[in-house]
């Protein structure tokens, strides 16, 4: 990677803003457009920007592949866990209304947890895909 000072400074300032916006989209997705998929893609762009600016090795030190694989699996398990919890509480698979005493509160809880699982999975898989393709085209 080149030593472009302006690019490095801008990416250092921009990455936390991107992550903050991803968190906003993640947790506001229950009340407006957005949610897990969009937040996962937005979050992964912060890591991709870091990797493009500082290099693939620096990005792999920041966020190694093993925790990413675990996060991808955890997100899917979180999604499925909400469905199973709904069934164990007497409802259908992913029937959020049984997750709390008040059906509306149960639906909010269910949507937030489901979208969190989707966001974690999407962000992890997007970063893993980038690492995989970046490694294949990296000059030797």
Say how many C-beta atoms besides its own lie within 10 A of residue 121's C-beta.
Answer: 22
Helix residue ranges per DSSP H, the chain: 5-28, 36-54, 56-62, 65-88, 103-137
CA dihedral defined by 129, 132, 135, 138, rounded to 10 degrees?
Answer: -50
Mean pLDDT of 40-61: 94
Tell me the pLDDT tens digit for each residue of 87-115.
999 889 988 889 888 988 888 888 889 99
How many domains would you assign to the chain?
Answer: 1
- Is the pLDDT at 30 greater than 70? The verdict is no
- Is the pLDDT at 32 greater than 70? The verdict is no
Mean pLDDT of 124-139: 87
Which pTM value belongs to this model?
Answer: 0.87
Domain of residue 131, residue span:
5-137
């Amino acid at each position: 990677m080149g030593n472009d000072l302006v690019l490095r400074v801008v990416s250092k300032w921009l990455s936390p803003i991107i992550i903050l916006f991803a968190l906003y989209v993640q947790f506001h997705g229950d009340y407006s457009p957005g949610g897990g998929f969009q937040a996962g893609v937005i979050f992964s762009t912060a890591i991709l920007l870091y990797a493009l600016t500082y290099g693939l090795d620096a990005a792999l030190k920041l966020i190694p592949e093993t925790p990413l694989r675990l996060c991808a699996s955890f997100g899917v398990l979180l999604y499925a866990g909400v469905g199973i919890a709904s069934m164990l509480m007497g409802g259908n698979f992913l029937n959020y209304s049984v997750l709390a005493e008040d059906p509306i509160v149960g639906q909010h809880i269910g949507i937030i947890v489901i979208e969190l699982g989707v966001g974690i999975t999407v962000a992890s898989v997007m970063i893993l895909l980038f690492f995989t393709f970046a490694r294949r085209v990296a000059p030797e």
